[in-house]
Chains A and B, each alone.
Chain A
Amino acid sequence: MQKINDYEIIDQITSYGENLKLWLTEDNSGSEFEIFTIQLKSEYKKTIDRIFKNEINPFINENIFGVQKVIETGFDKVNNKYYIVYENSQEDFFQIEDFNKRNFLNLVKTLNLLKSKNRYGFVLNDETVLVNNNDEVLIKYIGLFEIFKLYHALDEGFLSPEIIANQKPKIQDDIFAIATLYQEYLANKANIIPKSLAKERIDRYKKYSELIDDINEIKESLNISDTRNTIKIKSNVSDDDFEPIIKEMNEVCYWTIETEKSKQGQIMGQFSTENYSGRYYVDPQNYLFIPYINDRYEKTIKIGSIANFSFALDYTSFDCFEFFQDKYDEKNKLASQYKSHTNTLKEWQVLPKEEKKFIEEKAFKANYVERAETRNNQQNIRFTLTEGFIDWDEIRKLKKEKVVLYIDDSEIGTILDFDSSDQSLILKDTKVDLEEIPAKGKLIQDVTQEISQYKKQVEACKQFKERTIENPEIIGILTTPEKTPPFNRIDFNYDDFEKNLKSDKLKNDESQKEAVLEALHRKPVFLIQGPPGAGKTTVIVELVEQLVAKNSNCKILITSQSNLAVDNVLERLPKEILFMRLASNEVVDNDSIQQDVKAHLFENKLNHWIQQTQLKSEENFNHKIGVKSKNKAMIKFYSFYSRIQNGNEKEFLNEFFKKLRVSSGYIKKLFEHVKTKSAIENIFKKELGTTNLKLLQLQKEWFAFTSNATTEGKSVLNNGSTTIDLGTAYAMSMNVFGATCIHIASSKYRKINLKFDYVIMDEASKASPGETLVPISMGRNIILIGDHKQLPPVITREELIKDKVKKQLDDNGLDFEKTFGKSLFEKLISSFEQNPSLEPYIKMLDIQYRMPRHIGNIISNHFYDKKLKNPNVEIDILKDYDDDKSHGLDLKKPLVQITENDILIKVPNSVIFITTSNKDKPNDNGNKFDRKNYCNAKAIQETLEKLNELYDGNLDKNKPFNIGVIAGYRGQVNLLRNEIKCDKYSNFNSKKDEKVKSLIEINTVDKFQGSERDIIIYDIVRSDSNKSILGFLQDYRRINVALSRAKRLLIIVGDSEYILKRAMLYKDDRFNDFKLKNIIKELEEQRLIYNSLKEAVNG
């Protein structure tokens, strides 16, 4: 055996019989791991699955002090082995040779911690309990007791009589095992041996706390018994007073060092022991000064390291000043790295903070000078507003909208009434007592909902700063990508991988295949650039399938800024993948979830599970006892009988006979002579049998249990360690969750452990850094998919905020566009592209399948440096590509010449430019806030009329063509919507269930990103009779998105003369390449510019 799953075996460490083995391995990045393998025996499969699910998998990636960390678990089909990957402990931990109070106490404390989580019953012996040089303990094989037992691999020397007698392990058996391990050391120490190794469980310790108390009685110093250096401590209290502190310091002392010196120039930091904590100062006289100490300082315990020296009141045995000086320098070096991370995160925080502030500032506010309970109702409070308050219209609006008003952070109530004549405002059903409301203050409108998304972004930035995210390793990569270390060399076997592809679609596309394979191995951050139509969704779906196939416990988040992008992926996931869509009630109510995905919303899905479960249960039961139809009728009748049990006998019999009258003849005959309830019961017993009646009752119980799943706390599951609601457990059984980047942080899901092995973010190039950080804070590995050549993030809709943020950044010498104009995706990709050794972090999908080859060629040449290829029509399955992408029109110029693979070829023409240059008044209205062009609108109207005429049989097609009319300006979109009555074009009106729906949509570029149409009409809008700056269209990403939406035909409408001769670019803009002009020039050279569509077609 050379490999276990993707891990190369370096050596076998040990074995426990033939079937259980421990290996030293390395992954493809060269990191070493221990892997424990279990040879599968078919008869044990279910048991092992159960144990993995309940006893081992809950420990994956959990850091529990004293327990070997589980990295992943799985099943290796090639070797027919289960495997558990552990953090490598080989270098630091070894078998205990020096048994002492310190390591024993550490061991018991770890077991106590586990017990407090209902975890007990471990494989505890001299090979599984290890220590390091600091006497810290490491317990191996957590959760594997039953498997060791199944395979007869338990070391009997450590087993209690109960375990030998085949009973299930309890904590008394764990205590028995560790006391056996420490038996020699514990001899003659307190009373521990008899209370640990007693023959009967009942005579052993019942709680670890009792054992800990007895261990503490052992008269032995807890100091590490080695030859550690000693540091002298001075304090401002007497030596006697300081004695208990120094005693604890010598037991376990955590310490941190600070990056700044004290005012007196001393190096300083925090220390803490079991019960004390405080500051220390390093004195040049070679000692530490510790001023008066109060209580423990929690933070130090968590982030500090254990002191590897001892402490005394009288001497220092080494140059501790130099030691701390070195540590101080080291810390500062690290700190400067962190500083650049923190600075970037601070910058990213500015915008959401300002957005939040802006909303808060805009919110209604009113100062009041008096407050009192109203006479009639103590729950209502009357506020007297300051003189001069005039905004009564706003108050009227707030009252109508039932807006909640706050004071400070306390919710007060909604408006009951107001009176401008005495400046009063009455709030009803107030949530706080009058005394808690300040005598004077400010009432503020509740904007919690509105600011929630910005709060989440700020919170995510904070988590990144504090390194409390799921995988802190990604912080450096995201904030300072230029300093990212290159990946270790990985030799990918692309041919082998091809055999394992789930979708055939990828077989002929090297870039898609490579993207998936590389994303699976390049961790923790990988970027995929997906130009239009290059198969991003195909790649994501394949990735998800591969990840789940590799690890059936894998948790994946599919996220994006938009609901549509999330749904696009979910819609295409195969049925076998367990996935759930999470969305807010507003999103569901607004119908923003795709129809096919709605069934996967949490409540719908849970209800479906309940229904299906009950249905299957009924089917199975009927099948078992009700093969004959009379049995089925009997069960049905019994089910009715069970439902009418309440009430007195008379009422019951009334109901019963009412039903009997409308029952089948067979049932009527059986019950026709009964007079009492017990007689009825006896007939059921006779006909169905007592056991079946019992089972029917149990089934009823089970249905009641499942039906309550939607009510929190009603139906609860337990696996012996964790108690969990049925509904939450159901959600947690999913592999894939789909949610927008903001919604995933909703407090609604606090019960579901939202930690993901992979966060896959689509359209990452459209999200701001703040938005991106929210979901990726929850993932161990991140795959960002996007295209920075398409639309960037929307920075802010408020110019005021923009100005404020700009000013803040300017003050710090930072550029607004650089900080916010770029998505995190673009920032990363630009950094990685600049350094060849970092290029493996990116993969570009380089074949487009959406557009006809003519359009694809234009898009590639002008926006992707010719890197985006058209599909290879030589391949058998793509040989009909041109036909599949045909618009079907009889154009005057049916073919155009393009260059593909450096060869000139002729392909079907798919682009027409309709120029307005020769029309009357081709110019736009010149209003940069509401730009409109009536001439273009008319031209588009004519074009649509012609298209309607040309596509006479459109609705007869299997899939009728649809049209997207795209304008870059909101003003023009409004004009087009007013001028063009879409339902007028009968060949583009689809009918479904008597409802007529137009196949023409008019919208902005932003609304079209991520979607496609058979025919795209792009309105340039901008036109001027004089030379002028092109403006907004200078950002060619908009043009790219607009033109690349077309699946068959692209019609551009605009004043070609203006673009070619009079339009100019801003010199200082980052987009200084006039791509639109270049494209029109190319179309002019190809003679594709016409005055109307009519001119372009034959006949």
Chain B
Amino acid sequence: MDKKFQEKIFNKFKDHKTTEHFTLKKVKEVFIPFWQCKQKIVIEKNVEIDRFSKIILELINSNVSSHKAVCDFLGITETDFVTMQFHYLLKNELMTESIQNDETIYKVTHIGNEFLKNKTKIQNLETIDFEYYYNDLTQNFFDVNKRIDKGVSQKSKRFSGYKIFQTHKLNNSVEEFLPHQNRPTLNIIKQNDFVSFFNDQKKDSTFYDFEDNTIVSHKSSIKFILLEYENDKDGQKEYEIRHSKNSVHQFEGHTLEATLSLTYTSS
């Protein structure tokens, strides 16, 4: 850390805790440990009618209702690969099929018509790759675009997001790091917390299940300023973790990270 800058910070914060009898002892920049995680999640999604389903259902409603007639209209063979969509419509009861004079005849169901009018949605499960960050200190999930401290939501609208560094690319001999100690695994993380975090992140879908137990996690770090205070009476130490220019994309002052500071002090 640049000495001038260190002095500047020191002077700025040296009196912050004097009323509580704490004296500022050290100022340094450190990398706080986080985990960049990737996991396959099965999600539930309510989907609206898609373009192709709409075409087929409307065709049937326009009296182009036999399998052959629909395929002729589309210009495809009766076994063309796109006919997989018919299976989707039948499976979800959006239409029915019946055989009349050796011809497959479709009819749009009530749900199908509701679906056409966008009055109902189809529930679909799909597996997605979900990327998120895990805070090694607080052992919680977090969104890099939102402040770690809760209850600062009014400010978070302006918050530009944390600057994440891949730890292995940082220079060990020059920089100072807090060690990574809590690699997230399915045993460690609390499913309920994860589910609410996930649902919060992905507003258009709902958590259904983990696809498997694998969490791919890589060490990552955010650079903060660490202020070490010492109690004049009993020597007890308290820490403050504050933003530096390198912590966030758009620096708006040496904001205090209360949760991180508290966790670090008590650790």
Contact = CB atoms under 8 A, between A and B. Distances in A.
Asked if A pairs with B, the answer is yes
Given A117-B125, A717-B85, A617 B74 contact: yes
Interface string A718-731: 11100100100110
A704 to B, nearest CB: 8
Contacts of A695: 59, 62, 64, 73
B169 A699 contact: no
Interface stretch (B16-24, B181-189, B230-238, B252-260): B181-189
Interface size band for A? 35 or more
Given A116-B127, A694-B58, A695-B59, A726 B73 contact: no
A732 B81 CA distance: 9
B64 to A, nearest CB: 7
A1025 interface: no
B93 A168 contact: yes
B246 interface: yes
Contact of A620 (B72, B188, B211): B72
Given A46-B104, A115-B125, A729 B82 contact: yes
Given A691-B62, A726-B82, A729-B82, A433 B163 contact: yes
Contacts of A295: 185-188
A705 B51 contact: yes
B74 A717 contact: no
Contact of A168 (B83, B91, B188): B91
A838 B229 CA distance: 80
Contacts of B76: 613, 616
Interface in A695-722: 695, 698-699, 701-702, 704-705, 715-720
A619 B75 CA distance: 8
Contact of B171 (A44, A433, A438): A438
Nearest to A166: B96
A691 B58 CA distance: 11
A681 interface: no
A920 interface: no
Contacts of B239: none
A43 B81 contact: no
Contact of A698 (B53, B55, B214): B55
Interface string B49-85: 0111111001100111001000011111011011111
Contacts of A374: none
Interface string B36-47: 000000100000
Interface in A17-58: 42-44, 46-47, 49-51, 53-55
Interface size band for B? 35 or more
Which applies to chain B's interface (DSSP): helix, strand, loop or mixed?
A: mixed
A1072 interface: no
A618 B75 contact: yes
Nearest to B68: A46
Contacts of A620: 72-73, 75
A296 B169 contact: no
B130 interface: no
Which among A50, A117, A715, A723 has the highest number of chain B CB atoms within 10 Å? A50
Contacts of A729: 81-82, 84
Nearest to A691: B62
A46 B102 CA distance: 10
Nearest to B84: A719
Interface string B151-189: 000000000000101100111001000000000011110
Contacts of A701: 51, 54-55
Contacts of B99: 43-44
B216 to A, nearest CB: 11
A689 to B, nearest CB: 11
Given A296-B187, A298-B214, A436-B170, A614 B75 contact: yes
Nearest to A302: B212
Contacts of B53: 718
22 contacts: A50-B86, A50-B87, A116-B208, A117-B127, A121-B91, A168-B90, A168-B91, A276-B187, A295-B186, A295-B187, A432-B169, A436-B165, A613-B75, A616-B76, A617-B73, A620-B72, A694-B58, A695-B73, A698-B62, A702-B74, A715-B52, A716-B50
Q: 4 closest A-B pairs (Cβ-Cβ)?
A: A617-B75, A616-B75, A733-B81, A720-B91
Interface of B: 42, 50-55, 58-59, 62-64, 67, 72-76, 78-79, 81-88, 90-93, 97, 99, 102, 104, 124-127, 163, 165-166, 169-171, 174, 185-188, 208-209, 211, 213-214, 223, 246
Given A614-B75, A620-B73, A694-B58, 10 more contacts: A51-B87, A55-B87, A168-B92, A296-B185, A436-B166, A619-B75, A621-B73, A702-B55, A720-B91, A729-B82
